[in-house]
Amino acid sequence: MNQATTHQDATQQNTTPDTGPTHGDRRHHSAPPSGDSTFTALRGQLQEAATAFADGPDALERILLGIVDDVDRAVREPLEIFPVCHHSPASAVAMARRLREKQPKVVYLELCEDMAPLLTELRNCKLPVAVQAFASEVDGFPADWSPLSVVAPITEASAEYQAIAYALDTPGVELVLVDRSSDHVFQWDRRENGAPDTPEAQQTPQTQDPPDAQSDAKLHGDAVGVEIGDLRPRFAELEEHLLRHGRVRHWSEWWHQYVELPLGDSDHDTYRQVMLLIGSLFRRLAPGDPHRVHVDEDRERYMWTRMREHLAASGTDPAECLYVCGAFHAASRVAEFGVDGSDTFEISPRTATTWRHGLIPSSHTAIEAQFGLAGGSVSIAATVWAKNLKRTGIKPFRLEGQAGTKKPGRARKTAAPAPVPQTRAADRLTGFLQRPPVLDRLDEAELLGWSVDIVRAARRNGYLASTADAIAVFETSILLAGMRDRARPTPYDFQDAAVTCIEKEAVPGRRDVRRLVEIMMGGDRIGQVGYDALPPLAREVHDRLEPLGLPLQQRGVKRALLDIASRPELRGCSDVLWMLSHLMPQGAARPIMGERGLGEEPIQESWDLALGTHQRALIELGYEGVSIEQVLEQRLRRRAYNPRATAATVLEAVEDATRFLRSRRLADELGTRALEVLSGERSVDGAPEVLRRVRRLLAYYRTSEPVLPTWIESFAKTGYAHYCTLLPTAFTDEEAGVRQVAAMLGFLFSMESLALSLGCDRAQLELAVAQSHPEDQPKTALLWAAQTQLGTLGREELRARVEALLANPLVVPSYPRYLSGFLHALEPVPALTDFVVEAVSNAFARLPDPVLLPWLPSLITTLRADGAEFAPLLIKEAGRIFPGRLGALDTWVPPWREERRQSTANRAAGPATGAAALLTAHPAACDAVAALLGCDDPWVTPAPAAPGAVLLTRHPETAESVAALLARA
């Protein structure tokens, strides 16, 4: 303890800002407590305990007495401080009770001050929801931080909601938010590596969410959480000590057992003093990260400065006010503490960043994931809140017209209770600390109901559970509670018992037993933002999709069938859905049937819509613009004018602008941008994507426009010269793949006619191919294909080169790489499809088995990796060439061999056949041409060839020998 305290004192003195005296200075120079102090007796007892346990009054005494000083200071403050813990049922009950007793005129709440206008919209929402501040474009922060987001979740079982509901629905009551603004959250929370450094962002859940809860845990996205009433020890050894001696697994269970249950029925003074004690204890024993301590103290200075400013401006009596803040901040020791505190703190101005505010849906799982709470703890808190209300009879505050709550019954008209005058609180800490824990008696009916319900739920989810398992869970819960010094099992004890008795080696369904217990205890309640609280864009989306007749605000997937041919009014719904599918996360609007291509008119479409599930994403679209078309146009421009944009990404933006917005103006603007980006590129990595998109756009404009747009003509002309320049380098560059080079050739050959009509010279391409000298095999094959397309390499010469490759044993192992090049050559030269089939067939026909069999895996891998998109061409060509029946394969002669045999026969036939015989039979045409040329030579008739009989007469020996052989036979 002494070592921990010494380290704490040193840390505090080194990290205290210069705006006030240090913690040590304030502690040692503060006036000693007066004799009539409320906690004089408690101080004496703690001093005696420190002397007995620490062998003398030293650091332990300073800590214990300092805690009492913090509590005494907060209790004596004229402006009543109400310490809370976030999502604590005990805090919520105590808050509802205190508000009805005190009836304050002003409620100061620890929440970002710029979120105040949104709180009135809570009545249009189904809790839990989160108040969000969002900034898509930053000014004054690093650009890589964008977008900035801050959320503050609110549940019904929270003291903050009770204060908000009281202030908004009670006439004459003012609600003032006093915490730092959303802009200051990121001004103060910075790290050296340029990322936000909020304590909430650094916390991670202690337990992993189950698979079915992971999507709900992302409702807050990557937002920075503003945790109202953060109350958790920041000293790892302290938390470990509390968990070990409390015989619990995690902090949420410790808080439930040792704070929630004892304070659930306590009076206001006891609750307040105990919460102040806990906040001061955690603050003094856990110095924490110096930067975080600095931020916490600045927040306290900020809040007290704002409250003093409001008191001075309004003239309100501090006794009629209530300050709701976290217990950690209630035990503050900064010089600015209190209505009479120092006014030396200066609030820095906000940056020029434009913040947009709104409400987004939240859930119990999202809150647990955001703030590192144990799974199911918020659901259990909601259950405890309902039990506390039923047990104590306290009537909670709810916003009038609050969605998702039961309508209150008809109550008898009674006069409002008069506010209780504030009196000096008595010492409640001494009795609370000396009182032994109250052991609740076992509620066998409740525990038995839990056991039966969990077995029933396990059966529905595939577990082989029986009545015996229910009995085992019942008895094990009691056993675990007894081992942990509890007479009554808590929900956490019951959860452990159910997992022990029912969980098997494998989970048969989506949910395990632990998740089933959480659902049974209250489930993951998911909030919803009402229509009236949505931003204009979200409301417009729902209005435009109203012809579908679907409850799109509800969670879950809804199937939408659009028969646009018979109902033309659904055309507008189709346009909205395609834009939503482009802007929102996958699954929000997913097309099942139908496609939005360039120049295509929709006839029938089918969609799976989950706009209610992805309500947060739809709301955040409303922060970017007032209509969905405006947001899409802004995003397309942002993508096109990004410094890292490539020609392919800009062409994609052009295509999206044409498909979704049908905006010729925007498409022309982005097309001009694509031309600029292409001119500045020195890499060919995006050539395949450029080729694919420019071909599609060119085909669309040729069929739908009378003339081509100016930008695409310039793009074809500039791209032709650009790729001609880069082609020789790309053939030899190791970083440029064969796919990229093939795409370049595809662009040059497919755009050649358009480029030549615009003034380009074909000699550029011929020179570029002539200057290309590749070294690897695929690019060599690609160069041969390009030369064949240009006419500088004949088909017979190309066939001879390939046959030479197969005839060379040293080259045969690399033959698949040549095939890879020929496969990619089908992109620029599709006429070589039959030649590729011939090359593969010759390999199977000529290679011996010792060479062919080891080569087959490499061939298959090459075809699968490089020829997948060309497989339809190859299969179609092979189907045309090869026989359709197996029996005809034995007598089948490949067409390339037939062509070669016929060519050889034609060469051997001599000049007497073919055209020479035709000229001899009809000499008139030849005589006319000769007369024009001035030739008067007569015709020469060639001598007839000797028939075979003349040879037998001249050489009778051969015939006589054959006759003699036949006679002997």
- Confidence class of residue 784 from pLDDT cuts 50, 70 and 90? very high
Higher-pLDDT residue of 652 and 734 is 652
Mean pLDDT of 559-582: 92
**pLDDT at residue 439 in the model:** 54
- Per-residue CA distances from 469 to 402, 460, 504 (Å): 41, 15, 12
Question: Which range, of 332-336, 850-854, 866-870, 919-923, averages the lowest pLDDT?
Answer: 866-870
Is 598's pLDDT higher than 70?
yes
Mean pLDDT of 588-594: 91
Cβ neighbours around 3 below 10 Å, total: 8
Q: Cα dihedral angle (393, 397, 400, 404), rounded to 10 degrees? A: -70
Question: Which range, of 318-327, 609-618, 883-892, averages the lowest pLDDT?
Answer: 883-892
CB 755 within 8 A of CB 694: no
* Rounded Cα gap, residues 171 and 163, in angstroms: 14
Mean pLDDT of 353-365: 87
- Per-residue CA distances from 813 to 807, 819, 820, 839 (Å): 12, 12, 13, 15
Q: Which one-letter amino acid corresponds to residue 107?
A: V
Helices (H) and strands (E) in the chain, counts: 43, 13
* Rounded Cα gap, residues 752 and 610, in angstroms: 47
- Confidence class of residue 437 from pLDDT cuts 50, 70 and 90? low
**pLDDT at residue 313 in the model:** 92
Q: Which one-letter amino acid corresponds to residue 760?
A: C
Cβ neighbours around 168 below 10 Å, total: 17
CB 206 within 8 A of CB 240: no
Mean pLDDT of 628-644: 92
Is 301's pLDDT higher than 50?
yes
* Rounded Cα gap, residues 861 and 866, in angstroms: 8
**pLDDT at residue 162 in the model:** 92
Q: Highest-confidence range of 230-239, 639-648, 817-826, 879-888, by mean pLDDT?
A: 639-648
* Rounded Cα gap, residues 46 and 64, in angstroms: 7
pLDDT digits (tens, 9 = 90+) for 838-857: 888 888 887 778 777 877 78
**pLDDT at residue 697 in the model:** 92
Is 966's pLDDT higher than 90?
no
pLDDT digits (tens, 9 = 90+) for 664-719: 899 999 999 999 999 888 888 888 899 999 999 999 999 888 889 999 999 999 99
DSSP line for 13-27: HHH--TTS--HHHHH
Is 209's pLDDT higher than 50?
no
- Confidence class of residue 362 from pLDDT cuts 50, 70 and 90? confident
Mean pLDDT of 95-117: 92
* Rounded Cα gap, residues 363 and 382, in angstroms: 12
Beta strands at 224-225 and 148-154: parallel, antiparallel or unpaired: parallel
**pLDDT at residue 634 in the model:** 92
- Confidence class of residue 9 from pLDDT cuts 50, 70 and 90? very low
pLDDT digits (tens, 9 = 90+) for 441-457: 667 888 888 899 899 98
Question: Which range, of 241-245, 784-788, 825-829, averages the lowest pLDDT?
Answer: 241-245
- Using DSSP's 3-state secondary structure scheme, residue 324 falls into strand
Question: Which range, of 12-16, 120-124, 643-647, 686-690, averages the lowest pLDDT?
Answer: 12-16
CB 137 within 8 A of CB 637: no
Structure tokens at 126: 């189904």
- Confidence class of residue 12 from pLDDT cuts 50, 70 and 90? very low
pLDDT digits (tens, 9 = 90+) for 150-202: 888 888 888 999 999 999 999 999 999 999 998 888 888 653 334 444 433 33
Helical segments of 758-814, H only: 762-770, 777-790, 795-807
Helical segments of 595-680, H only: 615-622, 628-640, 647-656, 664-680
**pLDDT at residue 945 in the model:** 52
- Using DSSP's 3-state secondary structure scheme, residue 107 falls into strand
Mean pLDDT of 711-734: 91
Mean pLDDT of 886-906: 68
0.85 cut: is pTM over it? no
- Confidence class of residue 324 from pLDDT cuts 50, 70 and 90? very high
Q: Which residues pair with 179 in a beta bridge?
A: 112
**pLDDT at residue 445 in the model:** 82
- Confidence class of residue 537 from pLDDT cuts 50, 70 and 90? very high
User: To the nearest whole percent, how much of the chain has pLDDT over 90?
Assistant: 23
Q: Taking Cα atoms as reference points, which of 369, 404, 372 lies closest to residue 213?
A: 369
Complete edge-to-edge strand list for the sheet that includes strand 174-179: 80-84, 321-326, 106-112, 174-179
Structure tokens at 839: 């090359």
Q: Taking Cα atoms as reference points, which of 557, 117, 148, 526 lies closest to residue 360?
A: 526
Residue 509's contacts (CB-CB under 8 Å, 6 or more residues apart) are: 461, 462
**pLDDT at residue 147 in the model:** 83
Neighbour-count burial for 387-426, b at 16+ CB within 10 Å, e otherwise: ebbeeeeeebbbbeebbeeeeeeeeeeeeeeeeeeeeebe
Residue 733's contacts (CB-CB under 8 Å, 6 or more residues apart) are: none
**pLDDT at residue 821 in the model:** 86
Is 484's pLDDT higher than 90?
no
**pLDDT at residue 578 in the model:** 94
Q: Which residues pair with 80 in a beta bridge?
A: 322
Cβ neighbours around 43 below 10 Å, total: 17
DSSP line for 224-284: EE--TT------HHHHHHHHHHHT-SSHHHHHIIIIIHHHTT--HHHHHHHHHHHHHHHHH
CB 155 within 8 A of CB 161: yes
Q: What does the mean pLDDT of the chain come to?
A: 79
- Confidence class of residue 287 from pLDDT cuts 50, 70 and 90? low
Higher-pLDDT residue of 62 and 841 is 841
Query: The tokens 């095999």 sit on which residue?
Result: 777
Question: Which range, of 43-57, 482-496, 645-659, averages the lowest pLDDT?
Answer: 43-57
Mean pLDDT of 425-430: 65
Neighbour-count burial for 85-100, b at 16+ CB within 10 Å, e otherwise: bbbbbbbbbbbbbbbb
| Residue 599 Rama label (left phi>0; alpha psi -120 to 50; beta) | left
- Confidence class of residue 28 from pLDDT cuts 50, 70 and 90? very low
Question: Which range, of 15-24, 121-130, 309-318, 516-525, averages the lowest pLDDT?
Answer: 15-24
Residue 569's contacts (CB-CB under 8 Å, 6 or more residues apart) are: 547
Beta strands at 129-135 and 558-563: parallel, antiparallel or unpaired: unpaired
Is 542's pLDDT higher than 90?
yes
Q: Which one-letter amino acid corresponds to residue 313?
A: A
**pLDDT at residue 898 in the model:** 65
Mean pLDDT of 335-345: 86
Q: Highest-confidence range of 256-265, 418-427, 546-555, by mean pLDDT?
A: 546-555
Is 755's pLDDT higher than 80?
yes
- Confidence class of residue 833 from pLDDT cuts 50, 70 and 90? confident
DSSP line for 272-301: HHHHHHHHHHHHHH----HHHHHHHHHHHH
* Rounded Cα gap, residues 560 and 315, in angstroms: 59
**pLDDT at residue 855 in the model:** 74
Is 957's pLDDT higher than 90?
no
Residue 651's contacts (CB-CB under 8 Å, 6 or more residues apart) are: 671, 674, 689, 690, 693, 694, 697
Question: What is the 8-class DSSP label of residue 523?
Answer: -
Is 870's pLDDT higher than 80?
no
DSSP line for 844-896: HHHS-HHHHHHHHHHHHHHHHHHSTTTHHHHHHHHHHHS-SSSGGGSS---HH
**pLDDT at residue 485 in the model:** 76
